[in-house]
Amino acid sequence: MWDRAVREAAGSPNQLIQRARFLSKLGRKEDAQRDFQAAIQGKQTDFITWRERANAFFALKQYQQAIADLSRAIELAPNSASLLIDRGDW
């Protein structure tokens, strides 16, 4: 279902994000991370996409990459308390 939706939307970042969230819930963390990576290519200034990929990296225990993505998200949304908390800056 998601594969078809992503194909029809020509790799739409929003479709990729939705599929990545679904894959993550299924425990397919590596597949989810790949979709988040592809989504970032189309939404480089969207802090939510960076946060989502950070969550995928955390799930894969790739902590340095997760912190880097959270830091990028904070650059894009510096007033977001939840991002600071996610990164451990509380």
pTM of the predicted protein model: 0.77
Reported as a single tens digit per residue, the pLDDT across 42-86 is 778 889 999 989 998 998 999 999 999 999 999 999 999 999 998
pLDDT digits (tens, 9 = 90+) for 13-53: 888 888 899 998 999 999 998 999 999 987 788 899 999 89
Residue 5: its pLDDT value, please?
55
pLDDT confidence of residue 70? 95
Distance CA 89, CA 10 (A): 38
